[in-house]
Homo-oligomer: A and B are copies of this chain.
Amino acid sequence: MKFIAEINIMPQKALLDPQGKAVSANLKNIGLEACGNVRIGKHITMEVNANSAVEAENLVKDACEKLLINPVMEAFEINLINPPS
């Protein structure tokens, strides 16, 4: 079965996010004072061939830990979308 995985990778909460700070400041400059506290991370989608949702999630977790994230600076969450039946 072909699953689609959506992965959100965000900087750890305890860390400063300079890119987000820059965007926050610029939102104020263009008159959008109501928006703030911006944090910027990565959104990754991929297709996964697996026999079950559990297997697919393990494969995606493997991919995150081996290649996609830096555990010192980033945290990730995985959202698996079931294949259309």
Contacts and interface: CB of A to CB of B under 8 A. Distances in A.
A68 to B, nearest CB: 7
Interface in A30-77: 30, 32, 34-50, 59-60, 62-63, 66-68
A49 B15 CA distance: 24
A80 interface: no
B46 A43 contact: no
Interface size class of A (residues with CB under 8 A): 35 or more
A14 to B, nearest CB: 16
Contacts of A23: 44, 67-68
B43 A63 contact: no
Given A27-B63, A59-B32, A67-B27, A40 B42 contact: yes
A79 to B, nearest CB: 11
